[in-house]
Structure 1
Amino acid sequence: MSMAQTQKHRWITGQTHADREAVYGAGDAGQGVFFIEAHRQLRGPYTAAGELLRQLIPTVQQRWPELVERHVVEILSLAPELRAVVPTSRETLTSIAIPEERTRFYARARTLRLTNGVIELLKKLADPARMGPLKLVFENAGDCEHLDGEFFATILRRAHPAQIEVTLSTKPEIEQEMVREALEKYAERVEAPATTQHQPASIETDVLALAKRFVQSDGISDRAEEIAAYESLTEEQRQALHDERADELVARDEVTLGLGAIPWHRERGSSTKAAILALRTPLDYCLNMGFYESCLDFGLRGRKFVDWSDENLEMMWAFTTKSTNSLAALGRAEEAEVLYNDARAHTDNEVILMQAAYATSMLYTRHRQDRDHSTARYWINQALDLAAKVSDEKGRIFRTVFYNNGLALVEMHVGNIEEALRLVTDGQARLNEMLGENEQMLHRSVLMNNKAHILSAMKRYEEALSELNEVIAIDPNYPEYHFDRGNVFSKMDRLAEAINDYTHGIEISPPFPELYYNRAAAYNRMGETQKALADYSYLLEIEPTNLDGRLNRATLYLEAGETGAARLDVEEGLAQDPQHAQLLCTLGLIEMAEEHPEAAEKALRAALAVDETLLEAYANLSVLLFEKEDAQGAVEVLTAAIQHHPQAAVLYFNRAWALQALERYEEAAEDYTQALELGSEEAQEIYFQRGVCLLELGLEEEAFADWKRHLASGESPYLDTIQQVAPVLTNL
């Protein structure tokens, strides 16, 4: 077995930090070796990955600044304190929008892009020409925040231990399933022996000192005597220690401490007001950054400190609506609606009711599994009615335009595309008339982009390009706009320009799977098969569950005759989704290419059992049956296929061929005629074969007319036959 198959990362488990540390040896730090505390209470999202960057980047900035510039988005998203070290940033209208103008939030998938970008940076640094092999040890990794869990699961899968050796140190049980599964698959488990015994304190003065040590650890110490001492204090004593520690951390003025330890201490301190403010700050930050699991956590924690009274209304709504935004982004729309209903039940504040109505509409038209556009229309109309009551003219117009943009989405979903375009176009005009040149630029850019999507759907591509060109001019670093413009170019068959846009999007963004997928498709259409394969391969490295990418790569391998590689992709895909009809169909094609007819038939019939409309499976199964001399079976398969695809010329052509073999010439001639009327690409072949059928039916004049058309279409493989049967045609 190769090293790649046998070498693994390390998973050290033990009940206490001291037991685990005795195994991995924290004193062995040196060049390329990093020890990171990963407990979520310290800095919240990206506690571990952010600390790794805080330790790495000052050196990297000095020695390889080009790497920092390439990955600046990832670096500053995970470790914002590094703005003091990193001199540049690739800002967008989304990232710089003031809170009052923040009308767009990042996609949930963005955090995985950030993680993959950091891993790309680490792999570049682990090159022998730079830092060489890295060893990363993460303590308390089982108590990490969700986004560090995403980072751990991804780096364990993507990093080869010979290049980047990852050690996760955890308690025996791990809550996060994705971390546990990655460790079980990619790491060798080492159980640390229990070697430490901590004795409870016996002197009262020791108790206070020990309790303070626990608080100074920000609650992550697992030393029994410290925990016992802390629990033995009065509530007032504990609150005083938490207040003191929170004040110390605030004085350090580090953003990410406000996402972890500071709110944790304030919640346990003496001031409810301080706790509320300490939870509100990270609530806003995490929503703006797209850290939705953490935002939801802060929102639910904040709701415990406030109620719907007039005094707390603004804070209660902030904690509620940002929790619901996070739930929607996380695909938990039903839970979000419960919170909106709670708000409606407890307040008649028209601003809150207006915002809740709009957001509920978006749940029904965009986020719910069981979308209901009629209900979405009801709620958006409620929002518009309330917006009409806003006394401030500027606020009223902006809210109306904003909600009409939501209504345009509903109209798109129900097929009223012209009305959607009207709503967005009118909104643009009203904002341009009302606002100053630099006001609400984010939402104005959103309207431009939405209008481009509508125009593209209407196949008004030049107009869509005009909108996208304008929005890119004002927000050049937002990669989604280059992705969207590339898609329009692709629809126009301007593939080189599409590839340029996809490539630029790749260059300014953390790894963005859809850019690689669409660029691969464009390369394939241009005949650049190797470049397409490279993009699909990288796509599957960063997103191995992308079944469309896996299917497309398998198809390219199959077309190149690399059936073994194609089979590996298909089998991997079917392991994820055994009922994937197109993968089953491709497996059938692989079996056909490798001359395994029984296995091929089984796979193709399995594909049709999943999707009885799958044209490719019908067509290939009919060919397979015909080659097995089962022409009647081929006819039956094609007859079933035509019921689902009455406009598919290839099905009539194939059935005609099978009917002809069964000497059912009249039916065959009718199918050949139907294939011609549907624009078959096999016209020359059809003219000859229909002529054969007509001859068998005694219709010589019509048959020779078809053969004449056949000969006029180009060089004929049937020339000898025609010369023998109708020499007069070849002498014309």
Structure 2
Amino acid sequence: MTAHQWRVGPSPADGERADFAVDSHRGLRGPYTGLGSVLRLVVPEAYERWPDLVRGYLTEILSAAPELRGAIDAAPETLTSLAVPEERTRIYPANRTRRLAHGATEFLAGYATRAGRLPLRLAFDRVDEADPTDQEFLAIFLRRARPERIGVLIGTGGGSLEPELTAALDRYAIRLPDAHRPGPAAGRGPDELLRAYVDADGTSTDPAELAAYEQAAPEVRVALHDARAALLRERGEWSLELGAIPWHLERGSDPAGAGAEALYEAARHCGAMGYYHAVIDYGTRGRAIVDPDTQMERFWLLSTRASSAMVVLGRTVEAEPTYLDLRSRYSDPELQMSTGYALAMLYTRFHPDGLKDHHLARGYINNSIALASLLPDPQKRAFHSVFQNNGLALIEMRLGRLPAALRLVDEGLQRLDRELPGDKHRLHRSVLVHNRGKAYLALGRLDEALADLTKVIELDPNYADYYFDRADVRRRLGDLTGAIADCDTAISLSPPFYELYYNRADIKAELGDLAGAVADFGYVVELEPDQIDARVNLVSLLLDEGLVDDARPHLDEGLLRHPDDARLLHLRGVLALADDEGDEARRHFDAALRADPGLVAALASRAALAFDGGDHATAVADLTTALASTPDNPDLLYNRGFVHEAAGRWADAVADYSRALDLPGADRGELLSRRARCHAELGDADASRADEAASAAEQLDLAGAR
């Protein structure tokens, strides 16, 4: 198989050889219907033969195929995953699903290699009806899976796809001739057609089956839905609770009761997992079948599940009216308190910058703090008061009042310790310790920040983000080895996310481990090719090391994705210089400076090219423009001094060398030596001898340090 394939029409397994073919319609099992179905097929064999492979991807596997829990090892637990619903105060970021998709991609690649099935052929049907989690996974899978190792066949029915998947299909898959689905089988009576429609769990596209369903008596349909939901539940497969089962119960004998309960549980589970598009779907469907007057709590919770998911996905303007509607409908103190908190977070954290209003946020949160203080239950009063004040601490930080934010968090920790049993709200206690550490960091109190991050790791040792944050503090304290160790631990605990590898690459480069930095930056752009900073760093390191052929494809890919980026255009010029194409290099440097006239690297490179061509005036002009942006750059001053020296402008050269000598990071020995030559040309023998002596001393000191 030389490329992945895409067919619009019948099941991709029809007439094709596939090792595993699955239906990806989200109506069957909700998020990850397709990926989860593949994992349910391959993981039992993989776990029996290569348990180490499975153990490396437990979080990804169990997230997409929860039925496998108990059949394989458990994923590392965190306080977030262990928290009971009423104590769950942390949600996953929206990009968690990308991390899961990358890990699942790597697991399947490992499985294909160990199983010796090369190429392993996987077929996914009805992908246009798949949940965004599956479409995101398939976009990443198509890009990262090599067709000679894993061939992917995508089947769609002509519906719209997520933009990322459309782009991946266009670039990485061959479009096969469209095929028409076969017509309905003849000879089926109304009862058979009706049952077929119900048994398809809401995914049938057969017009005859739909017509039979619509023409059936309502009580017959209701009975069939109840029976089908009961049959599916007997299978004990949790993912069915995210797709087919709620669909049937919505249409069964108790939609506002059993149906709404099933939708709420699906929304709760998917909210905890970070599957936010599904949460919006469940919450919206649930709101439509409950009575807001007689089922206030269920209506409230379904509404806020959906609106909170919208917020995480950046749809804040769409979410806000839901909170306002609830506040206008009900006078319940806890509802007013929770929606006030949500609105405060919208205005201080989530809304676009043009809509943020920290003072309005403060008003909302103060109202919630007041309501929390009136709750009759002492433990609930303590927790909610601390929780709301933690929100106020965030607002204070946004307003630049860091000491006030630190005080609020610290007082909250003390109150929880004083008024709640130690086994209550362990997650939120850890969140407060983490937040206090971040407040210390913002205040520049690095040792105290380090202590709190170390404490929160002791409280929650399997939560990767804490190691990520502590690595940053250790790096600022100069403990680069410790920072690397924290990055390594975070990587071992989490599905792949590029920020970890980016930071580790930076630290490795600082330690002089250029090969390690190149490997990590390379992995970043494999995970997320649009991460342009990582790509610029990767190409720069490769060119610095003389690995021109290794740099070339990374640069070409970067320019394909970002054709107008000044840094990449500059690097294209550097590569042209390595290819001895001076005119081509100058053209790319000019293009880079048209895109960003102040790009120092491009100005310096163009100046060097001009100098090599004997054009001292242009070289000085470009270096002078660069120095306007970075006046304390000793290398630029040295370069301009060198050009002045070459042009015989000895006094100007002395001035630049002298300025550079006063700056940190300057090569003092070389600067003194060059200034000595200039003094000699100016006839100042004493100054020349003094600089020569000082240069020699610098060289001796440097040799001794080595």
Q: Under a length normalisation based on structure 1, what TM-score does the superposition of the two structures give?
A: 0.88
Higher mean displacement: 321-330 or 690-699: 690-699
| 1:709 aligns to 2:694 (yes or no) | yes
Change (3 A) 1:636 1:343: farther
Higher mean displacement: 227-236 or 609-618: 609-618
Superposed, which structure 2 residues align to 1:338-349 within 5 Å?
A: 338-349=321-332
Higher mean displacement: 684-693 or 65-74: 684-693
Give the AA of the match of 1:280.
Y
Give the AA of the match of 2:275.
F
2:704 aligned residue: none
CA distance in 2, matches of 1:378, 1:72: 44
1:723 aligned residue: none
| 1:211 aligns to 2:206 (yes or no) | no
Do the aligned partners of 1:125 and 1:132 also contact (CA within 8 Å) in 2?
no
| 1:511 aligns to 2:496 (yes or no) | yes
CA distance in 2, matches of 1:58, 1:575: 41
1:434 aligned residue: 419
CA distance in 2, matches of 1:692, 1:35: 76
Give the AA of the match of 1:11.
W
| 1:187 aligns to 2:164 (yes or no) | no
| 1:23 aligns to 2:30 (yes or no) | no
CA distance in 1, matches of 2:179, 2:692: 87
Q: Under a length normalisation based on structure 2, what TM-score does the superposition of the two structures give?
A: 0.91
Do the aligned partners of 2:13 and 2:21 also contact (CA within 8 Å) in 1?
no
Match of 2:130 among 137, 140, 144: 144
1:725 aligned residue: none
Change (3 A) 1:529 1:714: closer
Match of 1:642 among 627, 633, 639: 627
Alignment deviations for residues 312-359 of structure 1 (CA, whole Å, 9 cap, x no partner): 322222122222221122122222223333333434433223222322
1:12 aligned residue: 7
- How many angstroms does 1:698 deviate by? 5.6
Superposed, which structure 2 residues align to 1:164-179 within 5 Å?
A: 164-179=150-165
Give the AA of the match of 1:287.
G
| 1:328 aligns to 2:311 (yes or no) | yes
2:392 aligned residue: 407
1:272 aligned residue: 255
Gaps of 5+ in 1: 1-5, 717-732
1:53 aligned residue: 39
Do the aligned partners of 1:12 and 1:23 also contact (CA within 8 Å) in 2?
no
CA distance in 2, matches of 1:195, 1:413: 57
- How many angstroms does 1:370 deviate by? 1.4
CA distance in 2, matches of 1:350, 1:579: 54
Change (3 A) 1:89 1:639: closer
CA distance in 2, matches of 1:278, 1:560: 59
2:563 aligned residue: 578
| 1:122 aligns to 2:108 (yes or no) | yes
2:204 aligned residue: 221
- How many angstroms does 1:100 deviate by? 0.9
Give the AA of the match of 1:353.
Q
Change (3 A) 1:348 1:615: farther
Change (3 A) 1:623 1:344: farther
- How many angstroms does 1:96 deviate by? 1.1
CA distance in 2, matches of 1:12, 1:537: 32
- How many angstroms does 1:42 deviate by? 0.5
CA distance in 2, matches of 1:658, 1:353: 70
CA distance in 1, matches of 2:337, 2:260: 25
- How many angstroms does 1:431 deviate by? 1.6
Do the aligned partners of 1:201 and 1:229 also contact (CA within 8 Å) in 2?
no
Do the aligned partners of 2:128 and 2:156 also contact (CA within 8 Å) in 1?
yes
Superposed, which structure 2 residues align to 1:411-560 within 5 Å?
A: 411-560=396-545
| 1:591 aligns to 2:571 (yes or no) | no
- How many angstroms does 1:129 deviate by? 5.5
Give the AA of the match of 2:86.
E
CA distance in 2, matches of 1:180, 1:238: 37
Do the aligned partners of 2:77 and 2:462 also contact (CA within 8 Å) in 1?
yes
Alignment deviations for residues 557-584 of structure 1 (CA, whole Å, 9 cap, x no partner): 1111122332322231232223333323
SS of 1:363 mapped into structure 2: helix
CA distance in 1, matches of 2:490, 2:307: 30
- How many angstroms does 1:257 deviate by? 1.0
1:158 aligned residue: 144
| 1:37 aligns to 2:29 (yes or no) | no
CA distance in 2, matches of 1:713, 1:285: 66
1:622 aligned residue: 607
| 1:83 aligns to 2:78 (yes or no) | no
1:720 aligned residue: none
Alignment deviations for residues 609-649 of structure 1 (CA, whole Å, 9 cap, x no partner): 44444333333333333333232223333333333333333
Give the AA of the match of 2:162.
Q
Give the AA of the match of 1:96.
L
SS of 1:11 mapped into structure 2: strand
Match of 1:367 among 350, 365, 371: 350
CA distance in 2, matches of 1:606, 1:294: 45
CA distance in 2, matches of 1:199, 1:705: 100
- How many angstroms does 1:126 deviate by? 1.3
Higher mean displacement: 210-219 or 702-711: 702-711
Do the aligned partners of 1:622 and 1:654 also contact (CA within 8 Å) in 2?
no
1:283 aligned residue: 267
SS of 2:69 mapped into structure 1: helix
Give the AA of the match of 1:23.
G
Change (3 A) 1:163 1:572: closer
1:97 aligned residue: 83
Across the two proteins, how many residue pairs are aligned to each other? Answer: 698
Change (3 A) 1:237 1:526: same
2:57 aligned residue: 71
Change (3 A) 1:576 1:412: farther
- How many angstroms does 1:439 deviate by? 1.3
Do the aligned partners of 1:201 and 1:207 also contact (CA within 8 Å) in 2?
no
CA distance in 2, matches of 1:135, 1:164: 6
- How many angstroms does 1:513 deviate by? 2.0
1:670 aligned residue: 655
CA distance in 2, matches of 1:293, 1:48: 16
Gaps of 5+ in 2: 702-706
Change (3 A) 1:193 1:255: closer
Percent of pairs identical after alignment? 39
Alignment deviations for residues 225-250 of structure 1 (CA, whole Å, 9 cap, x no partner): 32222232244433332232223223
